[in-house]
Structure formats: C-alpha cells, structure tokens
Chains A and B, each alone.
Chain A
Amino acid sequence: MMQEYASVPFQPATQCFVSPIITGLWLIPVAPMVASGVIALLKQPRRKFAASLAVGSLSISMLLSLLAFCHVVAGWAHGSVVREFVNLTWFRFGSSTVDLGWVLDPLAAIMLVMVSLVGLLIFIYSVGYMAHDENFTRFFCFMSLFAGAMLGVVISNSLLLLFMCWEIVGLTSYLLIGFWYQKPSAAAAARKAFVTTRVGDVFFLLGIVWLFSQTGTLLFYNHGVGSLEGLALVNLLSQHAGLGLSAAGAIGLLIFAGAVGKSGQLPLHVWLPDAMEGPTPVSALIHAATMVAAGVFLVARVYPLMSIGAAPHGTTAALTVVTWVGASTAVFAALIAVAQNDIKRILAYSTISQLGYMMAGLGLGGVAVGMFHLITHAFFKALLFLGAGSVIHGCREEQDIRRMGGLRSDMPLTFLTYAIGMLALCGFPIFFSGFWSKDGILEAAKHWDISKGPFYLLVFGALLTAFYMTRQVCYVFFGHWRGHESAHESQRVMTVPLAILAFFAIALGVIGTPAWPWFHAFVENRTASFSWHGFAEPGLLQLMLASSLVVFLGLGLGWRLYGNKSPRPEAPDALERSAPWLWAPLRDRLYVDELYGATVVAFYAWWARVADWFDRRIWGGIVAAIAWLFGLWAQLNRLLDIDWVDGGFDKTCEELSSGGGLLSRVEGGRVQNYLRFLAAAVVALVAILLWSSRP
C-alpha cells in the first residue's frame, strides 16, 4: 500500500536532489492558464481586473522564466549539467506507461524568455489596442490561454504533452483569428487556418504513433532511455523505412510535416496571410513571434531524430528535405510579398519567408543557426507588427498602404521604431540583429556541399526582402498623406513596448556575431570565447560584404522605384507599369489558393454532392419504402385492436380497478402503517430463516 503512495505525482523528489526551479517549472505555463480560467469566469465589465490578471500572471511566468534562464546559464558556465527534467507517469496500460514531463535546457530556456518577454510586451500593447473592444475580457482570456499553451510547448519533455499544448495553441489561434467572428472573412480565415494546420497535424500524429511503437516512450530525455537519446536513436537508425530513409529520418519528416503546417511552409502556407484577419496584437504574438515559431522550435527539438546518422559536416535525407522546403518557401513568399498592398499581408508573407530562412538554417547549419534567427526575428517581427498595428490604429483602421503616406511626420515614434524593425528585417549590416542571424544562415548555406541551390535562393530572398520592405515603408511613411482624415500618434501604452522591442531588435545581434558566438556556444553547450579571429575564417568577410551589397541593392532599388513620390491610390504600381506580366501572378499570390480551390476543395465539394445524392435517392428511397410498409401494417393492427382487443381489455380493466379499490385500503397514506407492514414482514422472514436454518 505504501508503494502506491510513493508514486503520488507530487513527488519529483524521488529523483536525486532537483532545485525548486526545476520542480516548479510547471508553474510557468500554469500561471497564465489559471489566469485565463479565472478571466473566463469574469463578467464583461471587469475589464481592468481581467487585463491586470493576464498581464500579472504573464509577468510572473516571465520572472520565473528569467530565473530558469539564469539557472541554465549558471550551470553552463560552471560546465555542469545543462539539461534537467522531471518526468511523471500519467497512466499505464499493460506494461507500457505514458509519461509526461518537463525539461529545462538551453533551447527551452531561450524560448521561455523570448516567448514570455515578447508575450508580455504584446499584452501590455493590446491593453491599449483593444481598449475599445467590447469583448475585452474574452480577448485576454484567449491570449493568456495561448501564452500558457505556448510556454507548455516550450518546456514539455514528452512528445505527447507537446502535442497537447500544440493543439491548444492551434485552438487559441483559431479562436483569436476568428475573434471578430461577426466578420464573415474573419470566420472563414479562422476555419481555413484550423483546417490547414490540421493537415500537418495528422502527419505529426502519425509520427508520434510511429515513434511510440518503435521506442515505447514519448519522453525526449529520460536518463538515456528517452526517445532522443542513444539507444532509441541507434535502434531507429538501424531500420529502414524505404526511399533511402531510416525510421528516424522518416519519423522526423512526419513531425516536420506538422511543423510545416504550423509555421506555414510551402505547401501549407496559405492560411497565414488570411490569419491577419485577427486583431493586430494577435497577428504579432501568434502569427509572427511565437506560434509560427513553434514549428521551427519543434524541428529544433527533434533535431537529433533528423541529424542522426549524418557524417561530420555531412547531412541526411531528412535535413536535405527541410533545407529545400525552407529555401524555396523563403523565395516564394518573398516574391508574393512584393506585390501586396495590405500592410499586414506584406508582413505576413515576409514572416513566411523568414520562417523559410529559419527552416533552411536548421537544415543547413544546425540548431543554433536556425534558433538564433528565430529569436532575433521574433523580436523585430513583433516590433513590425505592433508598429503596423499602431499605424492602422492611427489611420482609423485603414490597412491599404496606398491610402497612407507621409506618416513619418504624423507619428514619428512609430516611424522610428518601424524603420529599425524594417532595417533589422532587411539585414542592414553591422548594427542590426537581423544581419547577423541571416548572415549565419547564408554562411552555412555557402558551406553546404550537396548543392549551392539554397545559397542562391536565400541570397535572392534577401534581395527581395530588402526590396519589398523598402516599398512598404516608402508607401506608408514617405510621400504625402493620401488617406481620408488625418492620422495621429498612438498613446503611450502602445509606443513604449515598441521602443523596448526596437532596443532588442538592435541589441540582440551582439550575442551572435562570429567574433563572439555566445548564442551558438550556449545552445550547443560549448564554451564561448571572444576573439576577433572569428572574422578571419576564409570567405566570411567576403560573404558579409556580398550580403550587405545585396541588401543595399534591394534598398536602392526600392527607393528608386517608390521613394518619396506618392502615387494616387488608384494609380497602377510602379513595378506593375514596368513589368505587368510579372505583377499579375504575384498580386494573385501565384495562384496557390486557386490551385487548392480547383483541386482539394473542388474534390470535397464533388464528394459531398455524391454523398448527398446517395442520401436523397438510394437511402431515402429505401427508408420511404420501409416506412410505407410499416404504415400498412399499422392500419392492419388498428383494425384488430378496435374490433377484438379493446373489448376484452376494458373488461379486465374494470376487474382490476375494483380489485385495486380493495387493495387501496392498505395504502392509507399512513406512514406508520407502511412501517408496520414492513416490520411485520421482516419478523416473519427472519423467523422463517432461523427456523429453516436450525440444526
């Protein structure tokens, strides 16, 4: 019996001593979730309370995340263990158990800080942004739930727990995209996002099941028997899944499919642009900074599955696929972004392309490279989105960049921060974090020895990025005002987060320069050292020079085409005039939606029609026939009843009722009478019993 008590969940102390930071790690995601639960119970007018609850809980989890981060950094600096985890058994069937758990390692620590910090800033921002919305509390309920689930994804040490949080994230994303569900477009967008990501998640689930069937555990790390640790990996590598893939690679690719769905990689990117129907803070938090990054994070988490079996400096089939998908997505989305006119759509497509960069970075240069770009991108993309939100807010919900312009004088602070974000996104040399992270990817691509294709694609993508961002900024902030009524700067609660994000957008570059690759060292658990020789690697400086040139080229091109001249909103775009044959397909997003419409959707519609026809004709006919038969039978019965049965039945009834009259004397409604009968009966029964059982 005591054994059972020993396995009470609340006793991680059964392992050796674990610091309360680890045992209490679960508080980080739980705090916002609890907050959202409480908010859900609040009445609508309790706006202030709801907001303070959400912000407070998230700041609690941010503080805890910082604690955890410092804990890991300290462990890393002392060269002691950097990966600690707590596992609990959820339930067991047969011999195999299903375990949940949470892990704290550099990857998780960095993501924790990033998510909670960006999330907190966006929460504060949205207090101002949503101030006039009547569903304020609902908004914060969903937001906190999302933040909690995201943090859960980050810390979970079990693929199952990760998948649960993953699905909650998907759900909240659905709820928040459709937050203004009275807009049919928003509802449609929400549905689209949900369904599209499902497609990926199905593969993800398949991967999970396969992994469980092969390794018997879903824990990532568990003292050497986890699914990402030696034994399991070797076992997985040893068996082949066809197409030159090992089981490990195949599972990795299935999970990668889930990531493709979540972070809008090439086949499944269609939902992300439409997701911009949601409130702008949502777009910033979910569809720029964190959720879409969850896909990348997932790939980074299961990276061992994909990279196992690679020769040193070599690669595996799985990684090759990841690389190609990422690189092509990067260019593809960037191309489309060139020809969009909705300020948020442009940012959405740039997000897709940047996610492509991250994927490519993972595939080419390993976890550190991709994750570094993820972190930097999270900050400056959140900055850009919030800036866009502030612009939209300032322009009275106007989203078409052709109807803006000259805002740099109207909203200077927004312009400043936005420019910083834009330069960081373009990868403007030296001073901006985007440059360093993107450069790392390019460098990795350059040294990739399978093919140089990704390298050229990514460079071209960089050019395009610089170009379309310049176009957007020119449209929005330069020239003269083309909107209806004049714009105004947003209030403090919105601009302050912008400033903070801008600071990070610049400063984060420092920790990832080749001279001092602190970040990479930390993630890959090497020792970091500062030396200028980092730049002395062959070809690095040339590469930096080349990419800077590319960026300048893009900026110059953009300025040349759009700079400071403000065309009338109706006038065709500059690029359209010069190259209409190129413009049309780009404007129509390269017809991907139409393609899906013509194939998948059309097929489902056709299938629905077929099913409907079956229902109406075949099954309906059968049912009708049966019904008719029964009707006939019923008629027959009725005749029988009326003529024969009823007579006899009435007679019986009379007899019964007279008999009942006699019996009803007993049921006098006197409680004590009942009790008496009861007792007497008991006496009789017991007496009989005893009598019969006498020896």
Chain B
Amino acid sequence: MATSPLFTNLDQIFMILRDWLAGFMPAAFRPAAGVVLAVIAIVCVFPGLFALTTVFERKGLGRIQNRLGPNRVGPYGLFQPIADGIKSLTKEDIVPFSANTVVHFLAPLSLVVAVFMEFAVLPMGRNMVLVDLNAGLLYFFSMSASTELSVFMAGWSSRNKYSLLGAMRAVAQMISYEVVLLLSSVSVVMIAGSLSLPKIVEAQNSYTGIFPHWYIFTPWGLAGFVMYAIAATAETNRSPFDLPEGESELVAGYHTEYSGFKFALFFLGEYLAMFAISGLGTTLFLGGWSAPLSFLTFIPSWIWFFSKVMLSIFVFIWMRGTLPRLRQDQLMNFAWKFVLPFTLLNLIVTALWRFMGEGWLRWVVCTAILVVAYVLMGRVEMRSEHFGPRRYRYAE
C-alpha cells in the first residue's frame, strides 16, 4: 500500500510541483529556481499558518476562560487575522523621540529574518527539506541564537526602561535555557549519530510490530523531550515563562515602543519561532514526518509533520491558558539548579544506553537512574528551593 503510485505522488506532491514549475526554466537555472520556489513556499506557508494560529489561540484561550473568542469577522471570526493585518499595516508607525532610530528599525527585521532562516533545515516531509546540511542541528541553533541579539536591539533602542528590562530578562532567560535546549538535543545526536535532521528522522522511521521507534519512547528520550519542551517554552517566551512580556510588571516587554507593522513583525517572529522550535522538537523526538503507527503510513508524510507541529502549538496555547507566571529568580533557579543538571545526567544515561547493548537490562538501569535522580533532585533537593517570598539582595 505504501508503495502505490498514488501514494507516492500524494506524498511527494510538492516536490513534483516544484520540479514541474522549475521545468519552465532553462536547464542551467533549474536548481536555483527549485530553491527559490521552496523558499517562496516557506515564506508563504508559515505566515499563513501564523494567521490561522492567532485565531486558533484567541478562540482557544476564550474557551479556556469560558467565553467565545473573536467571532465577528467572517465565519467563526476566521477572517480576524486579515482584519488585524490591515489594521497593523494602516496604523501609524510611532518611533519614540529619543529612540536610536537605525537600531530601532533593524531589530524586527533581523529577528524575522533569523527566524525564517531556521526553517531551511527542517524536514517537513519525505525529501521535503530545503538544504540537508550535515551540520543542520548546529545551523538551527546558531540561527535561533542570533535572534537574542535582535531582541536586545529592540529593547535597548527604544530608550524605555520597561523595554530594556524586558529585553534583559528575555536575553538572560533565552541564554540560560538555550543551554538546556542544546544539551537535550545532543542526547538525540548521540544515538542517531548525525547532526543532519533528515538522517535523524530516518533513524526513527522504522517499526517494531506497529509501534514506531521514536526516541520519545525510550527513557532518556522521554526525559530529554520533557526538558526540551520546558526549554522551548522558555526560549519562545511563552507562558508560564513569559516574564519578558509580563504585562503586569513591564508594559509589553521589549516591544512596548513598537507599533503598527513593526509590532506585527515581532508578533510574526515570535510565532514563527514557536513553529520552528516545535518543528525541531517533532523532528528530534517525535519521529518528524514518520507515521505514528505502521499501518498509517499511507497518509502523506507532510500531513503528519504539520499535524504534530500544530499539536505542540496547541499544547503551548493550553499551557498559556492554564499556568500562572513564574518569577525571575524562580525561573533562573529552575533553569540552573534543576533542568540543567538533570539534562547533563540524561546525557550520561544516554551514553549508558548506547553502550549497554541490546536487552531489557538497559531499560531497567536507565529508567531507574532517571527516576531516582528525578526524585532526589526534584523532590528532595528542590524542597529547600520552595517558591517562598523573595529575598531582595539589593534592597538594603
């Protein structure tokens, strides 16, 4: 079934489309044309997804808070994003008087560009990857790292203490959780033996019986995925880690002073970052575009990828609707005293897993180590770190 021509055509439909379109070019330019087409596709698809997600999020939050979301524009308010887009395009673009104009202008651009770059290495389906770098993971992280700077630029150039504080928080938080993000994905690299994301997906794309070999179904994989999810939430400044934009404390964080289209750009950037990071998580732990059960492989791979991504987006929204916000010191304690050590331990466990060879023993040992460590660190040691009132160090 998985080999019928219809299936393959459906699965590869975008490839076929691209090649067909590129076919109109003279042979010399075809590869370039193919790349350009792919880029265009990415640049069109994900903003569209972003538009949908905004409605999705607002309505979802509405449901969680027991109210109807936007429901005026179009059927079920589906055209809301269009309206928002028009609004933000037509609004006046206010730049504070004392702002550092150039930087203030460059910040959103660089942010969005860097985020778009991240999508270049994500395999969104069988053969559906723009470039298959053999250092793909590293590339992804380097791009996501370079967004921090634009956040800082935005915060600093607005000459507004709320913005600056927001930016500082954001940067500090992103840096400290980026470490975790990297380390938790290193364990996947250790097992898959490659930094290239398509290869990592291939490594997970096989089945015992009907069950897939996704890494999340191993002790270290599960632990790594949980750590990754936490870090990803913090990395994208989403609730409960959304201190940088904590309305109650600093008006809107680093994009307080932005309005109109630049603000829209920031908004877009955040959501794209969410997509990208969920896509990476899907690729690393949830088997990328591979089907969850062996008899479901007839459904095209890209559908699987996007549905997994949207699922994790839904989880993001869910958490935002449910969890209260942390405090800065709690955030940092959590990062450095619990998440990071546990991730490091997870690396060691992965190494054990790698070297203990096949057999049930490694399951027992790895699970035991992780559980014990979790109990000791999470329950026993963090007990002293109970989230009590804050001791202000500088308020003497």
Contacts and interface: CB of A to CB of B under 8 A. Distances in A.
Interface in B328-371: 355-357, 359-361, 365
Interface in A1-50: 8, 10-13, 20, 23-24, 27
Contacts of A24: 361, 365
B382 to A, nearest CB: 16
A27 B355 contact: no
B355 A20 contact: no
Contacts of A10: 355-357
Q: How large is the interface on B (under 10, 10 to 19, 20 to 34, 35 or more residues)?
A: under 10
A201 B180 CA distance: 51
B360 A20 contact: yes
Contacts of A8: 355
Interface of A, secondary structure class, is helix
A23 B355 contact: no
Contacts of A27: 361, 365
Counting chain B CB atoms within 10 Å of each CB, the highest count among A11, A12, A13, A24 belongs to A24
A8 B355 CA distance: 9
B289 to A, nearest CB: 33
B166 to A, nearest CB: 36
A581 B361 CA distance: 65
Interface of B, secondary structure class, is helix
Contacts of B359: 20, 23
Nearest to A13: B357
A8 B357 CA distance: 12
Contacts of B360: 20
B357 A11 contact: yes
Interface in A473-521: none
Contacts of B361: 20, 23-24, 27
Counting chain A CB atoms within 10 Å of each CB, the highest count among B355, B359, B365 belongs to B359
Nearest to A9: B355
A376 B356 CA distance: 37
A77 B147 CA distance: 67
A24 B357 CA distance: 11
B381 to A, nearest CB: 12
Counting chain B CB atoms within 10 Å of each CB, the highest count among A11, A13, A20, A23 belongs to A20
A46 to B, nearest CB: 10
A290 B366 CA distance: 31
A24 B356 CA distance: 9
A20 B359 CA distance: 6
Interface in B354-396: 355-357, 359-361, 365
A13 B356 CA distance: 9
A13 B361 CA distance: 14
A303 to B, nearest CB: 32
B365 A23 contact: no
Contacts of A11: 355, 357
A12 B355 CA distance: 10
A10 B361 CA distance: 14
B378 to A, nearest CB: 16
Nearest to B362: A20
A13 B365 CA distance: 18
B361 to A, nearest CB: 4
A279 to B, nearest CB: 29
A250 B203 CA distance: 59
Contacts of B357: 10-13, 23
Contacts of A20: 359-361
B375 to A, nearest CB: 11
A11 B356 CA distance: 8
A8 B360 CA distance: 21
Contacts of B356: 10, 23
A8 B361 CA distance: 19
A10 B356 CA distance: 7
Counting chain B CB atoms within 10 Å of each CB, the highest count among A8, A10, A12 belongs to A10
A12 B357 CA distance: 9
A270 B251 CA distance: 83
Nearest to A53: B372
Contacts of A12: 357
A325 B24 CA distance: 100
A27 B359 CA distance: 15
A27 B365 CA distance: 10
Contacts of A23: 356-357, 359, 361
19 contacts: A8-B355, A10-B355, A10-B356, A10-B357, A11-B355, A11-B357, A12-B357, A13-B357, A20-B359, A20-B360, A20-B361, A23-B356, A23-B357, A23-B359, A23-B361, A24-B361, A24-B365, A27-B361, A27-B365
Closest 5 pairs (CB-CB, A-B): A20-B359, A10-B355, A20-B361, A24-B361, A13-B357
Interface of A: 8, 10-13, 20, 23-24, 27
Given A20-B360, A20-B361, A23-B361, 16 more contacts: A8-B355, A10-B355, A10-B356, A10-B357, A11-B355, A11-B357, A12-B357, A13-B357, A20-B359, A23-B356, A23-B357, A23-B359, A24-B361, A24-B365, A27-B361, A27-B365
